[in-house]
């Protein structure tokens, strides 16, 4: 009987047969697909014909089909619905995948064919897209160490293997700490908490089999608890547990892992001839150099820190008026900031939340995509990997475009955060393939029979991830390797952050922010307050983010620290981080940076992209129409459909006519002088 994972996806709408997949299928399918990919790659390398774009570069794009199918399913499930078996398989697969990748990049005959084509590129009569794929393939091999020889080549293999093991362990340790901690609440402890927090705590207790309500380390539950609980002792306990993830001693402690990862990354960069890992990593990004990143972050740090210090003084006075003496602490900030927001903007999140129903916000994201890009979304009744996940067929003018899967609720088997992924990417070669895209979020699940309610921040997260999904769904390139979000890391956040702006378009909230019980539209006065308060507490939010981005940069731009925690403290003290604000992601749970190479030296990317997203949405504001059809068409043509088919700067300039400065970002965050 054929292993389900190795069979073509023949479920309705070209989906995998999720209902037939068993954990026991993964290991044998993985081994078979790995061997097949290696054989296919070696056949290209051993081809006796002279290298051509077709028999080498295009041929490489068709290898590993089965492996791609197996891994896309496995890693999506391992992140969204982990089990002990899947975690064990992750640990088993990581070094094998690293060795497999090393074997391909170390194949001398294959690299010689690629290099021959690269050196003859001017005479090959390639399309722009083909020339781009050739450049990226050659560059990828060189940066992976294909030109290394002897002991250096062997050491590179060892480093990659070890890094893959460490990244997997780092990620699983955070998940283990999040799963193992909960704080039981008595009925008295619920006093002062709005209904949606109480409901979330009861639902979390039910999910975990507890006797009553609990607070977990899910952001969608712990943040509102820190905002609303009048119990300072419980806020402190919850906050300390939250920031201690990955630093609790024992088997799940990530501090030694972080030190080893940083050391190995620097060694890898030095083997390739770079001064630092940051120099290596940033070479292919829009920023290009550590200095450019530092300049951007420091341009924002000064105004943000100044705003945060002024806000801290106000919050301290509020706290002392409550009879609490001493300094404002990190577990106090959100509580008093929420009180201040309620007072200054007359905005009560408990009153706001019933207007932000999950289902209505999904409709709002879909409707916006319809108005901008002509997309339509039809619910699908198909088997998926978890009962909470749901799917839609995406069409334009009746023609299928993609399948979109949304998986919105927090659970113990899901890693924290929110992300967009693809079970299948778009391509036209060697056959036409439509994408299957998934958004994963961690919103608090409501008690049975009640609607899921979001905070305004949650609603922004939903729009953010859907912006990434549009980047995947509207992709229109020939080769999968440059499809969708296969772009520079500091460009990939542009579509997602740009899409957030449409949540703040009054027309969108007027139509979709309707009360969960009465169905009434959000009152105009409340809508005005929501929009006025959009930049509330930006000092805090900007400082906690930029602090994390600067720590990431300094860790990788220079000698690796023997003690990352001591170095983290040194960096933050040098910046003058306000005492009541912590990094958004402290080193032991900084998954963006240590669970893999994705955002290492690159956590700044959100802000680099924000410079562009603020400027890009300003184009719509200048046109006087957030749904201007000509601008929407340009946005799709040059940003959303282009993938990595050209340099990010060229794509943005084609859309906007120029590159922006940091001023639009500071203005957008309300931090401009």
DSSP states of 117-176 as a string? HHHTGGGS---HHHHHHHHHHHHHHHHTTTT--HHHHHHHHHHHHHHHHHHHHHHHHHHH
Instruction: Give the pLDDT band of residue 147 (cuts 50, 70, 90).
Output: very high
pLDDT per position as a tens digit, 188-199: 999 999 999 999
* Residue 565 predicted with pLDDT over 70: yes
Cβ–Cβ under 8 Å, residues 129 and 475: no
Pairing of strands 419-424, 436-443: antiparallel
Mean pLDDT for all residues in the chain: 96
Residues 179 and 83: their CA atoms lie apart, in Å, by: 12
pLDDT per position as a tens digit, 72-84: 999 999 999 999 9
Q: What average pLDDT does range 93-112 have in this prediction?
A: 97
What percent of the chain is predicted at pLDDT more than 90? 95
**Best CA proximity match to 617, nearest among 631, 636, 633, 638:** 631
pLDDT at 350: 87
pLDDT at 348: 86
Instruction: Give the pLDDT band of residue 1 (cuts 50, 70, 90).
Output: low
Q: What average pLDDT does range 533-546 have in this prediction?
A: 95
pLDDT at 534: 86
The number of residues in the chain equals 673
Residues 94 and 457: their CA atoms lie apart, in Å, by: 34
**Best CA proximity match to 547, nearest among 298, 332, 311, 357:** 298
The secondary structure of residue 273, as a DSSP letter, is T
Token pair for 186: 């008595």
* Residue 211 predicted with pLDDT over 90: yes
pLDDT at 672: 84
Cβ–Cβ under 8 Å, residues 174 and 589: yes
Cβ–Cβ under 8 Å, residues 437 and 422: yes
Residues 300 and 668: their CA atoms lie apart, in Å, by: 12
What percent of the chain is predicted at pLDDT more than 70? 100
Question: Of residues 178, 285, 465, 636, which has the active-site annotation?
Answer: 465
pLDDT per position as a tens digit, 327-374: 999 999 999 999 999 999 988 888 999 999 999 999 999 999 999 999
* Residue 581 predicted with pLDDT over 70: yes
Burial 629-655 (b: 16+ CB within 10 A, else e): eebbeebbebbbbbbbbbebeebbeeb
pLDDT at 5: 96
pLDDT at 190: 97
pLDDT per position as a tens digit, 114-127: 999 999 999 999 99
Token pair 């940083």: residue = 262
Q: Which own/partner contact pairs does 198-201 have at CB distance under 8 Å and 24+ positions apart?
A: 199/444, 199/446, 199/447, 199/450, 200/224, 200/444, 200/445, 200/446, 201/225
Q: What average pLDDT does range 467-493 have in this prediction?
A: 98
pLDDT per position as a tens digit, 612-656: 999 999 999 999 999 999 999 999 999 999 999 999 999 999 999
**Best CA proximity match to 500, nearest among 490, 508, 488, 491:** 508
pTM of the shown model: 0.95
* Residue 89 predicted with pLDDT over 70: yes
Domains parsed from the chain with CATH numbers = 4-105+107-144 (1.20.1050.40), 181-244 (no CATH), 354-479 (3.40.390.10)
Token pair for 585: 């992601």
Residues 258 and 586: their CA atoms lie apart, in Å, by: 11
pLDDT at 2: 82
pLDDT at 186: 97
465 is catalytic: yes
């Amino acid at each position: 009987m054929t292993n389900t994972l190795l069979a073509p996806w023949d479920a309705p709408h070209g989906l995998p047969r999720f209902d037939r997949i068993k954990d026991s299928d993964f290991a044998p399918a993985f081994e078979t697909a790995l061997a097949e990919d290696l054989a296919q790659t070696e056949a290209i390398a051993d081809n006796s014909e002279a290298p051509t774009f077709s028999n080498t570069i295009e041929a490489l794009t068709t290898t590993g089909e089965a492996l791609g199918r197996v891994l896309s399913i496995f890693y999506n499930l391992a992140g969204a619905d982990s089990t002990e078996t899947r975690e064990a398989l992750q640990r088993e697969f990581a070094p094998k995948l690293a060795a497999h990748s090393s074997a391909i990049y170390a194949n001398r005959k294959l690299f010689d064919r690629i290099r021959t084509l690269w050196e003859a590129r001017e005479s090959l009569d390639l399309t722009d897209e083909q020339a781009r794929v050739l450049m990226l393939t050659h560059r990828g091999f060189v940066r992976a160490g294909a030109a290394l020889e002897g002991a250096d080549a062997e050491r590179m293999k060892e480093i990659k293997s070890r890094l893959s093991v460490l990244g997997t362990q780092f990620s699983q340790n955070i998940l283990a700490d999040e799963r193992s901690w909960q704080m039981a609440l008595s009925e008295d402890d619920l006093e002062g908490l709005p209904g949606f927090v109480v409901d979330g705590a009861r639902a979390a207790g039910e999910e975990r089999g507890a006797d009553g309500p609990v607070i977990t380390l899910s952001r969608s539950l712990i943040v509102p608890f820190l905002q609303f609980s009048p119990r300072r002792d419980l806020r402190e306990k919850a906050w300390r547990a939250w920031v201690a993830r990955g630093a609790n001693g024992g088997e799940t402690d990530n501090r030694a892992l972080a030190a080893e990862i940083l050391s190995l990354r620097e060694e890898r960069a030095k083997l390739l001839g770079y001064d630092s890992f940051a120099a290596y990593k940033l070479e292919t990004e829009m920023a290009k150099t550590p200095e450019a990143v530092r300049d951007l972050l420091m341009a924002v740090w000064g105004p943000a820190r100044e705003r945060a210090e002024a806000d801290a003084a106000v919050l301290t006075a509020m706290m002392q008026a409550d009879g609490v003496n001493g300094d404002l602490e990190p577990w106090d900030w959100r509580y008093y900031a929420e009180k201040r927001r309620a007072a200054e903007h007359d905005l009560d999140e408990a009153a706001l939340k019933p207007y932000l129903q999950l289902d209505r916000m999904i409709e709002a994201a879909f409707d916006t995509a319809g108005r901008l890009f002509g997309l339509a979304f039809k619910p699908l009744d198909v088997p998926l990997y978890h009962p909470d996940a749901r799917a839609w067929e995406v069409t334009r003018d009746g023609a299928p475009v993609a399948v979109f899967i949304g998986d919105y609720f927090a659970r113990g088997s899901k890693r924290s955060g929110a992300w967009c992924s693809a079970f299948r990417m778009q391509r036209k070669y060697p056959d036409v393939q439509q994408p299957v895209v998934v958004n994963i979020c961690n919103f608090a699940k409501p008690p049975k029979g009640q609607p899921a309610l979001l905070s305004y921040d949650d609603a922004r997260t939903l729009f953010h991830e859907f912006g990434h999904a549009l980047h995947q769904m509207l992709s229109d390139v020939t080769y999968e390797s440059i499809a969708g979000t296969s772009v520079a890391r500091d460009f990939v956040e542009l579509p997602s952050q740009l899409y957030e702006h449409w949540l703040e378009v009054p027309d969108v909230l007027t139509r979709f922010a309707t009360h969960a019980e009465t169905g009434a539209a959000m009152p105009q006065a409340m809508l005005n307050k929501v929009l006025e308060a959009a930049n509330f507490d930006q000092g805090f939010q900007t400082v906690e983010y930029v602090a994390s981005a600067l720590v990431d940069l300094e860790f990788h731009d220079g000698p690796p620290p023997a003690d990352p925690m001591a170095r983290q403290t040194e960096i933050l003290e040098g910046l003058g981080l306000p005492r009541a604000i912590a990094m958004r992601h402290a080193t032991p749970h900084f998954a963006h940076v240590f669970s893999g190479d994705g955002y290492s030296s690159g956590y700044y990317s959100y802000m680099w992209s924000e410079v562009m997203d603020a400027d890009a949405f300003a184009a719509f504001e200048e046109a006087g129409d957030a749904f201007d059809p000509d601008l929407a068409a340009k946005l799709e043509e040059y940003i959303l459909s282009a993938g990595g088919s050209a340099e990010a700067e060229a794509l943005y300039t084609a859309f906007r006519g120029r590159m922006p400065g940091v001023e639009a970002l500071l203005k957008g965050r309300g931090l401009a002088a």
